[in-house]
Homo-oligomer: A and B are copies of this chain.
């Protein structure tokens, strides 16, 4: 029994071919953050015949099951990433598009403090730092 099957069972999801293939794709693809369209096209290129609607449905189920995280970066379309490693935030190089992951305990702690000071509890958060390599002249 494969790794993916176990993940799906643990999540309470029936082990179907599309689900396994999508999970594998998220795990193996070069890019860690993929849109539904990205996943769909990658599957097609790999010769896997999965409908785009199924990709959307499965990704949504994966999100509900905690297997993936959905991010709403700038640009109108959602991207998904495997929730295998722990929590982290993102830096995006505005020139190259490169994405760097990081996690800073100080910021995380301060976020919870701020929310608490306002009488709320923190459900989730989204932090993206847009960065660039320093240039001598701009």
Contacts and interface: CB of A to CB of B under 8 A. Distances in A.
Interface residues of A, number: 35
Contacts of A72: 72-76
A119 B91 CA distance: 12
A121 B111 contact: no
Given A72-B73, A73-B72, A127-B127, A111 B107 contact: yes
A6 B26 CA distance: 51
A126 B126 contact: yes
A123 to B, nearest CB: 5
Nearest to A119: B133
A129 interface: yes
Contacts of A122: 129-131
Contacts of A100: 118
A74 B128 CA distance: 13
Interface of A: 72-76, 78, 91, 93-94, 100, 102, 104, 106-107, 110-111, 114-115, 118-134
